[in-house]
Amino acid sequence: MEKVIFHIDVNSAFLSWEATYRMRELGDTEDLRLIPSVVGGSEESRHGIVLAKSESAKKYGVTTGEPLVDARRKCPGLRTVPSNFPIYVKYSNAMMKILENYSPDIEQYSIDESFIDMTGTQNLFGPPLEAAHTIKNRIYRELGFTVNVGISTNKLLAKMASDFKKPNLVHTLFPEEVPTKMWPLPVSELFFVGRQTTKRLHALGIFTIGDLAKTDKKVITDNLKGHGDVIWEFANGNGDSMDDIANKNRKPANKGYSNETTLAFDVTDSYLAKEILLSLTETVATRVRADKSYISVVSVYYVDNEFKHTSRQMTLDSATNVTNEIYYHVCQLFDQLWNGNPIRLLGVSTSKATNEAHRQYSLFETQNVEKLSKLDSAIDAIRNKYGEDSIKRASFVRPENEDGIKHMTGGLGKAKRDAK
């Protein structure tokens, strides 16, 4: 039996969920989706980064990930609203509950998209197109936001199909439709092809997905190595092992304590990246102390918008479990590591754990490591008793921190736990 895979993708997720929440639960009469608007900051402070934009804002040239001040310059009448991740998680979970009625085989690919294996469900829900419209319409009717549904025989093609014309539509992209529906598209629209790869392909005279598919595979791999092999297969519609191929670019975490977050938007600012790294380090260090351990190796890694994994590690002079000390070295590593490419995933990893702290002289001796350690322990005790939000660093409570960064775990981790 041939597989049937659906890819469900929320249209302009954060903005759509924000609009739905404000209209359904707060009584707003203005639909953010129908005016030039963005999620990512407040009207009062005008700080932050664009997390999501409406189609009207897009027409003014507003882009996801750019500073709000730049977005306002392009669109003077832009409506901005702060992010509300717990609400987004609530809507995401509600959508997943609906999808569970149609198949037991569901993979949540991100907060706003999921794959559903609908193979063998035709007798229950009708042919694929009928079932897709049923799901799409039910989500809108019950939850108030729209989705696109892509249908194919593998995840890659289903995902590509859902990215066709939006919003609130169903598209198919079966293997036999690839030459007519996918090959004419710009090569930049192929999954796994980012800006830098697009430039290199253009230099080879490859401008469409069809150009890539028809080019000798050796030419592509000679120029783009393993990544070239992946995108050549994708261009030819071969996407059964999409997840396995993607994960090849992620280095396995070291044995020890680690934490990572996939970002809601590509990070291009060093200051913001370090805020996220601090959030990750807070959680890692807390776990180390909870086990009464000390670590002597610190690693930082990231995945950029080309899906390339880059990492670096250092061995410390002294084993430690002090948050500030670990974070100091994390920042050192990041400054050495980052080449400026937009970041999609950030991670902090530690290893070589021991139950004893053998200290040698370091920069942190002057800051009295013993006092810092006792302070961390006191903070841990308060958080254990009153919750991890009971104490936060000032950088995570000031008005400027409106990019959805949580003070522990990074990204959406805390919001996901709170919403369960």
Q: In CATH, what number does 1-176 get?
A: 3.30.70.270
In the three-class reduction of DSSP (H, G, I as helix; E, B as strand; rest coil), residue 146 is classed as coil
Nearest Cα to 318, choosing from 347, 292, 352? 352
Per-residue confidence band for 134, with pLDDT thresholds at 50, 70 and 90: very high
| Active-site hit among 18, 113, 325, 388 | 113
For residues 382 and 51, give the distance between their C-alpha atoms in angstroms, rounded to a whole number. Answer: 33
pLDDT digits (tens, 9 = 90+) for 312-323: 999 888 888 899
For residues 236 and 304, give the distance between their C-alpha atoms in angstroms, rounded to a whole number. Answer: 24
pLDDT, residue 396, reads 55
pLDDT, residue 69, reads 87
pLDDT, residue 260, reads 84
| Between 367 and 199, the higher pLDDT residue | 199
Per-residue confidence band for 251, with pLDDT thresholds at 50, 70 and 90: very low
pLDDT, residue 399, reads 45
**Confidence check: pLDDT of 381 > 90:** no
Strand segments (E) across 305-417: 309-320, 343-351
pLDDT, residue 382, reads 74
For residues 208 and 187, give the distance between their C-alpha atoms in angstroms, rounded to a whole number. Answer: 4
For residues 21 and 12, give the distance between their C-alpha atoms in angstroms, rounded to a whole number. Answer: 14
**Confidence check: pLDDT of 252 > 80:** no
Nearest Cα to 291, choosing from 257, 327, 323, 262? 257
Write b or e for each residue in 229-256: b if 16 or more Cβ atoms lie within 10 A of its Cβ, otherwise e. ebbbbbbbbbbbebeebeeebeeebbeb
Neighbours of 259 (CB within 10 A): 24
- Output the CA–CA distances (angstroms, integers) from residue 257 to 77, 139, 163, 250, 281, in the order listed: 46, 39, 37, 17, 10
Enumerate the β-bridge partners of residue 314: 298
Nearest Cα to 13, choosing from 280, 265, 182, 192? 265
Among 43-52, 168-177, 403-412, the least confident range: 403-412
For residues 267 and 279, give the distance between their C-alpha atoms in angstroms, rounded to a whole number. Answer: 15
pLDDT, residue 391, reads 59
DSSP class per residue in 365-394: GGG-HHHHHHHHHHHHHHHHHH-GGGS--G
Q: What is the dihedral of CA 205, 209, 210, 214, to 10 degrees?
A: 70
Nearest Cα to 303, choosing from 311, 312, 295? 311
Mean local confidence (pLDDT), 346-358: 81
For residues 391 and 400, give the distance between their C-alpha atoms in angstroms, rounded to a whole number. Answer: 18
Nearest Cα to 282, choosing from 413, 371, 86, 418? 413
- Output the CA–CA distances (angstroms, integers) from residue 362 to 85, 115, 183, 331, 355, in the order listed: 40, 50, 58, 16, 20
Which fold, 257-419? Dna Ligase; domain 1 (3.30.1490)
pLDDT, residue 196, reads 86
Query: Residue 355, exposed/middle/buried by CB under 10 A (0-12, 13-18, 19+)?
Result: exposed
pLDDT, residue 218, reads 96
Neighbours of 179 (CB within 10 A): 14
Mean pLDDT (the chain, rounded): 84
pLDDT, residue 357, reads 64
Q: In what order do the strands lie in the sheet with 257-267?
A: 257-267, 343-351, 295-304, 309-320
Residue 113 among the catalytic residues: yes
Phi-psi region of 401 (alpha: psi -120 to 50; beta: other; left: phi over 0): beta
Enumerate the β-bridge partners of residue 300: 312, 348
The segment(s) of the chain belonging to CATH 1.10.150.20 are: 183-247
Among 28-37, 129-138, 235-244, 385-394, the least confident range: 385-394
| Between 300 and 86, the higher pLDDT residue | 300
Query: Is cis: bond before 167, omega within 30 of 0?
Result: yes
Residue in this structure with the two tokens 């999921």, named with its chain if needed: 114
Nearest Cα to 171, choosing from 162, 180, 182, 183? 162
Mean local confidence (pLDDT), 183-212: 95
Q: What is the dihedral of CA 17, 18, 19, 20, to 10 degrees?
A: 50
pTM of the model: 0.67
| Homologous superfamily of 183-247 | 5' to 3' exonuclease, C-terminal subdomain (1.10.150.20)
Among 22-26, 254-258, 293-297, the least confident range: 254-258
Max CA-CA distance within the chain?
72
- Output the CA–CA distances (angstroms, integers) from residue 396 to 67, 68, 329, 389, 391, in the order listed: 18, 19, 20, 10, 10
pLDDT, residue 42, reads 53
**Confidence check: pLDDT of 280 > 80:** yes
pLDDT, residue 372, reads 78
Taking a C-beta distance cutoff of 8 angstroms, is the pair 148, 169 a contact? yes
Nearest Cα to 73, choosing from 53, 51, 57, 56? 57
**Confidence check: pLDDT of 411 > 50:** no
Taking a C-beta distance cutoff of 8 angstroms, is the pair 319, 354 a contact? yes
Neighbours of 398 (CB within 10 A): 11
pLDDT digits (tens, 9 = 90+) for 209-237: 999 999 999 999 999 988 899 899 999 99
Share of the chain above pLDDT 70, in %: 82
